[in-house]
Amino acid sequence: MRHLYLIGNMGSGKSTVGAHLAQLLGMPFVDLDTWIEQSTGTTIAALFEREGEPAFRERERVALQQVAQLPPHVVATGGGVVLNPANWAVMRRTGWIVYLRAEPETLWQRIQAPTDRPLLHTENPRDTLRAIAAAREPLYQQADWIVPTDNRTPDEVAEAVKRVYAPTPEQPLTVEVLPAQPHSYPVLIAPNLHTYAAERIAERVRPTCVALLTHTRLLCWAAPLRDALQTLGIPTQLITVPSGERVKSLRTAQRLYTHLLDAGIDRTGALVVVGGGVLGDLGGYVAATYMRGIPYVQIPTTLLAQVDSSVGGKVAVDLPRGKNLVGAFHQPALVLIDPTLLSTLPARHWHNGFAEMLKYGAALHEGLWNRLQVMLEQGALRRRVERNNPHAWTLPIAQCVRLKAHVVAEDERDLSGRRALLNFGHTVGHAIETALSYRHWLHGEAIAVGMIVEAELGQILGITPAPVVNALREAIARAGLPTRLPQEVSIETLLEAMRYDKKRAGDTPRVVLLEALGTARLVSNIPLNALREALKRCVPSEPSVGCS
């Protein structure tokens, strides 16, 4: 277990919620401000008045380091703890960070005595509170998770945070995708959730019959699910296909249509996919097109599928000329993410999925990026015991899902360019996969090199700062992923493959480029000579391998 750090503005309820939460979790509780007051024998207000804010912040830093050495606690921090990068480093190394968020008006209503708040000793404390909240919001957003507290009681907030810190199959962490829309659906996330999968499917989808699509090596997960569904009175047919990107084809889809017909699946039935990204894409495409669309459920079994491809409704098969060129938008009815299922994942596939996590951090969320760096430092990929600890992965996986759900809600059909941000590294990465005929390199390995090439491109165009390029390259190398293009593929072959990139506008490519870690934008009219130069910078000096 780890510490649970609660951060947020004054009035967000950290102390009250923290005390409730500690009781729910059976953990000790510490309030950092109270810790400082007890150690100094005076109040926070008196310390501010006597020593000033800089001196208080130093006391706060020391106190946090002391608390971090304790066994796991629920820790209510002070509102300004986020101002010091050293505090972030301590909290990330020793625990999970949850931001209790409230609107400024809510904060003001909750603050009973502004005179007890040193920072509000101003002519207009209400305006001061608004200004402080606005200034700190970008820092708070770097937390591992955000729990809104407006219009919620402390008990309700504590229950919500408990699901973040310690989700269970009965009370999973839930991310709503496309909320308040007709085809909205939940993504449920918890260790051992697979033990409740049949009940969740029956409750949410209510199928009259089920086809369960999987790989032979995943029957250890799929067969018990089939038996559980049949125990609930839902006839279930197992369908297995080989693994690998090459099965993601129209030919395989046609064979699956036949299997579904033979199994008696109609529009009252459902397709349940137990597998990784390839199987999810293929199964989703089949569900979208069979009988003009049937419900389907994603139960992803790879890290890459859990953090990315199982959510968002983009389903497709490949053509010889390019990846995902025949597809549809077809949202699943339900996604069940269980990090326990990753226990069967080979080490190379952990690195493969981690590449997509790095993509989310680099393009969308600096806090996630920093969390992933700490995970690398602590051996999350090197040590088998860490890889097989579902509690170490649940929240980072959920953060990726939350980020994707947010982008999908803004641009479900990929029309505004916002959803294209999810494709950082994919213009070049997909070209690598196509050039290799979907052999030798895994998807994440190709995306890893794609991110480096596209970061180099951003630097050439004056958009991506050099330190960002270097940080990205170093992180990808530390994650055991390739950093150079495959030896056997020429630059001209890659440029030709990019002609079929779906983000392309006419004859000119559009590429997602980084402005900073956590911030990206889609750039049009990319000069061909700049793209060629970026590729040249990543040509290997010796033969490369995708498996690191």
Q: Collapse the DSSP code of 39 into the 3-class scheme (helix H, G, I; strand E, B; otherwise coil) and give the result.
A: helix
CATH 3.40.50.300 fits 3-165, yes or no: yes
CATH architecture of 391-536: Up-down Bundle (1.20)
Q: What is the pLDDT of residues 532-541, one digit of tens each?
A: 999 999 998 7
Of 501, 520, 542, nearest in space to 531 by CA: 501
Of 103, 196, 108, 98, nearest in space to 146 by CA: 98
The C-alpha atoms of residue 284 and residue 78 are separated, in whole angstroms, by 46
pLDDT at 197: 98
Averaged pLDDT, 363-377: 97
pLDDT at 547: 36
The answer to whether 176 and 405 have CB atoms below 8 angstroms apart is yes
pLDDT at 544: 47
pLDDT at 63: 97
Tell whether pTM > 0.75: yes
pLDDT at 483: 97
pLDDT at 117: 83
Percent of the chain having pLDDT more than 90? 86
Averaged pLDDT, 50-60: 93
Which of 22-31, 200-209, 413-422, 458-467 is least confident? 413-422
Check residues 544 and 197 and name the one with the higher pLDDT: 197
> Would you give the DSSP letter of residue 307?
I
pLDDT at 321: 84
Strand 3-7 to strand 95-101: parallel, antiparallel, or no bridges (unpaired)?
parallel
CATH 3.40.50.1970 fits 173-345, yes or no: yes
Averaged pLDDT, 491-495: 95
Banded pLDDT at 436 (limits 50, 70, 90): very high
Domains 3-165 and 391-536 share a fold: no
Residue 212 reports pLDDT greater than 90: yes
Residue 431 reports pLDDT greater than 90: yes
pLDDT at 416: 79
Q: What is the pLDDT of residues 162-178, one digit of tens each?
A: 999 999 999 999 999 99
Averaged pLDDT, 423-440: 93
Residue 489 reports pLDDT greater than 50: yes
pLDDT at 388: 83
The answer to whether 523 and 513 have CB atoms below 8 angstroms apart is yes
pLDDT at 545: 46
Strand 322-329 to strand 314-319: parallel, antiparallel, or no bridges (unpaired)?
antiparallel
Banded pLDDT at 546 (limits 50, 70, 90): very low
Averaged pLDDT, 105-125: 84
The C-alpha atoms of residue 85 and residue 347 are separated, in whole angstroms, by 32
Q: Collapse the DSSP code of 319 into the 3-class scheme (helix H, G, I; strand E, B; otherwise coil) and give the result.
A: strand
> Would you give the DSSP letter of residue 130?
H
pLDDT at 113: 66
Q: What ranges do the domains of the chain cover?
A: 3-165, 173-345, 391-536
Distances (CA, A) of 421 to 404, 411, 497: 10, 11, 20
The answer to whether 412 and 328 have CB atoms below 8 angstroms apart is no
Check residues 386 and 14 and name the one with the higher pLDDT: 14
DSSP-H helix ranges across 232-365: 250-262, 277-289, 303-304, 347-364
Q: What is the pLDDT of residues 83-96, one digit of tens each?
A: 999 999 999 999 99
DSSP line for 182-247: TT-EEEEE-TTGGGGHHHHHHHHT--SSEEEEE-GGGHHHHHHHHHHHHHTT--EEEEE---SGGG
Mean per-residue pLDDT over the chain, rounded: 94
Percent of the chain having pLDDT more than 70? 97
The answer to whether 417 and 373 have CB atoms below 8 angstroms apart is no
Averaged pLDDT, 54-76: 97
